[in-house]
Amino acid sequence: MRNRLIVLPGWGLGTAALEPLAASLRAQDSTLHVELMALPNLAEGDAEAWLDYLDRRVPTDCWLGGWSLGGMLAAQLAARRGDHCCGLITLGSNVSFVERADWPHGMAKDTFQAFMDGCRSHPQVTLKRFKSLCSQGAQESRSLIRQLDVGIPVIDPVYLAKGLEVLGQLDTRAALQAFDCPQLHLFAGNDALVPAEAASALSELLPDVEVGLVEDAAHAFVLEYPQELAATIKNFLHESGND
């Protein structure tokens, strides 16, 4: 269904953070059916297991989108489905969240390992730190943190840790290069978790797809600029033949 968009959230925060964006999309395009779908709660930290889970539950022949980890999973799922996915939209999603020898635009490995260790030993403290990083760089960071606090689901710490394991595994470059349908990738200029340089690096990797950078925005720009992001997504969908 070219008028159906499934959006996956980021790590640890549930779908509530995406509600303003979904509401803005519905308001700006009454023909678009936007559905938010939670990430898996699995006691497995294997990315393929997570993708298998999503593949069984996410409808086919629609648009796939996601924020941060959700966007990375959506990218892998889109590549799996090929022509049975209308297109892909990612928001604040690095191709590799953790730096690699051939991708220096990610979080330092030791920093990420410390984050994982903290999640296992003090999950709520780690989640609080994560919310702070999501809002860092925003015009009104304190207000954004309060917004992120609304509707956060109670997630078993085991599932939180497994989600980070998946995040550390994913490298979506091959999937994005293989997926031959419309793609839109939006990044935040002041993102404390995904370097802005990742946007230009992705443009070099995929010169034929749309990559945008929202200046003066934090990682949680889905909450910071929902109307503006919705307008960009709506225009992209219409230009891609979703009328």
Strand extents, DSSP E, the chain: 4-8, 33-36, 62-67, 85-91, 183-188, 210-214
Instruction: Walk across the sheet containing 62-67 and list its strands.
Output: 33-36, 4-8, 62-67, 85-91, 183-188, 210-214
Instruction: Tell me, yes or no, if the pTM score tops 0.85.
Output: yes
Q: Which domain holds residue 74?
A: 4-239
* Amino acid type, 80: R
Model pLDDT, residue 243: 44
Model pLDDT, residue 232: 98
Calculate ∠ Cα 169-127-90, nearest 5°: 50
Domains held by the chain: number: 1
- Could you give the 3-state DSSP secondary structure of residue 4? strand
CATH number of residue 75's parent domain: 3.40.50.1820
**243 residues of the chain, pLDDT tens digit each:** 589 999 999 999 999 999 999 999 999 999 999 999 999 999 999 999 999 999 999 999 999 999 999 999 999 999 999 999 999 999 999 999 999 999 999 999 999 999 999 999 999 999 999 999 999 999 999 999 999 998 899 899 999 999 999 999 999 999 999 999 999 999 999 999 999 999 999 999 999 999 999 999 999 999 999 999 999 999 999 998 754
Alpha helices of 31-68 — where are they, by DSSP H? 47-57
What does the chain come to in residues?
243
Tokens of 125: 């403290």
CA-wise closest residue to 70 among 179, 190, 194: 194
Model pLDDT, residue 2: 80
The b/e string for 36-45 (b: 16+ C-beta within 10 A; e otherwise) is bbebbebeeb
Q: Indicate which residues carry an active-site annotation.
A: 68, 191, 219
CA-wise closest residue to 107 among 116, 118, 117, 96: 96
